[in-house]
């Protein structure tokens, strides 16, 4: 590669790849859950991208290309960890579970817990306690407001898998937080629980 | 379809609806149902404030300028000329 082609490569990289740093930083933050690790991952991603810039297809989606490098780098670094968590399950059941958990919250006087209480510390603890595959989709979709397709792209998994993991993760988070609110005595006595019992379609209540 | 069956069908769309991931046809159907069903509306409201609580819990600003400077320095050490 001659001096001119080096110059062209550098200019292209600066024009196409570097502006995507904030987007890749968000992906890295979602994957690592740690600011320092995320910064290291972003740096590794851009160094690899620069070294292999010749493999980037002009006109293709640079963000997707960088996301793939970021993801592959992260997974390679965490290869010793298990990434085969079973994530099967019925998505219908997960959404119906959300209704039953609402009923449980109402019956225990904590229906308005998410609006009334500062649950950020408990929420962060609950998110951290999720298995990594579930935590990743929550971070991307619920915290970073990414679409299912974008999360699938960032994680290299099908959209259907994003959905199933997301819905199950939300159920687990709701269970954790409702249990937390009840155990902490945050219930409202004489609240809506007594006045208007919610109807979760007559099914059995979820046991937490 | 009975009212109960209709409610069950609608709450199956709870998460996709709140995520803005429903096809238009279902979006219209859910909105119409929620207009008329306070019980289902309460389920959706509970789920919506739950999602808002998740988002609030992770609302950290991401200042990437120091990181950008660090990455550019690493790239320059790798041979890239300053952009």
Query: pLDDT tens, A31-80?
Result: 887 778 889 999 999 999 999 999 999 999 999 999 999 988 888 877 64
Instruction: List the single best residue of B10, B66, B71 to mutate versus A (max A Cβ within 10 A).
Output: B71
ipTM, two decimals, is 0.72
**In this structure, is residue B83 part of a structural domain?**
no
State the distance between the two ends of chain A, measured CA to CA, in whole angstroms.
63
**Please, what is the Cα angle at A185 between A181 and A191, to 5 degrees?**
85
Q: Which CATH number fits domain A91-195: 3.30.470.20, 3.40.50.360, 1.10.10.10, 1.10.10.60?
A: 1.10.10.10
Residues of A in contact with B46 (CB under 8 A): 102, 105, 111, 114
| Smallest Cα distance from A22 to chain B, Å | 6
Domain boundaries along the sequence of chain A: 3-77, 91-195
Indicate the range of A84-93, A130-139, A174-183, B1-10 predicted with least confidence.
A84-93
Range of the domain at B26: 3-78
The winner for highest mean pLDDT among A26-30, A143-147, A172-176, B66-70 is A172-176
| B44 CB-near residues (< 8 Å, 6+ apart) | B14, B17, B18, B34
Tokens representing B33 are: 């149902």
Residue A89 Rama label (left phi>0; alpha psi -120 to 50; beta): left
| Smallest Cα distance from A94 to chain B, Å | 9
| Smallest Cα distance from B61 to chain A, Å | 11
- CATH fold of A3-77: Rna Polymerase Sigma Factor; Chain: A (1.10.1740)
* CA dist., res. B18 & res. A199, Å (int): 20
A143 and B15 in contact by Cβ < 8 A? Answer: no
State the total domains in chain B: 1
């Amino acid at each position: 590669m001659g001096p001119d082609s080096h110059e062209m490569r550098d200019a292209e990289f600066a024009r196409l790849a570097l502006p995507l740093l904030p987007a890749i930083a968000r992906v890295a933050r979602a994957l690592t859950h740690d600011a320092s690790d995320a910064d290291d991952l972003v740096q590794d991603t851009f160094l690899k991208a620069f070294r292999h810039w010749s493999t980037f297809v002009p006109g293709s989606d640079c963000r997707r290309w960088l996301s793939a490098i970021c993801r592959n780098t992260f997974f390679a670094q965490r290869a010793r960890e298990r990434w085969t968590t079973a994530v099967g399950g019925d998505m219908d059941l997960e959404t119906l579970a959300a209704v039953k958990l609402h009923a449980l919250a109402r019956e225990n006087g904590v229906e308005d817990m998410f609006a009334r209480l500062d649950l950020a510390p408990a929420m962060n603890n609950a998110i951290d306690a999720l298995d990594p595959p579930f935590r990743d989709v929550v971070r991307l979709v619920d915290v970073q407001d990414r679409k299912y397709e974008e999360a699938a792209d960032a994680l290299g998994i099908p959209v259907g898998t994003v959905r199933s993991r997301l819905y199950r993760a939300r159920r687990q988070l709701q269970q954790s937080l409702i249990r937390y609110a009840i155990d902490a005595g945050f219930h409202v006595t004489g609240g809506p629980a007594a006045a208007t019992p919610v109807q979760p379609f007559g099914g059995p209540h979820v046991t937490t | 379809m009975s009212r109960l069956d209709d409610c069950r069908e609608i709450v199956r769309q709870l998460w996709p609806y709140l995520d803005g991931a429903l096809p238009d046809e279902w979006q219209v159907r859910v909105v119409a149902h929620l207009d008329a069903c306070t019980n289902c509306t309460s389920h959706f409201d509970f789920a919506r404030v739950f999602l808002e609580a998740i988002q609030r819990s992770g609302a950290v600003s991401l200042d990437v300028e120091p990181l950008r400077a660090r990455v550019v320095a690493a790239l320059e050490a790798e041979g890239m000329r300053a952009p």
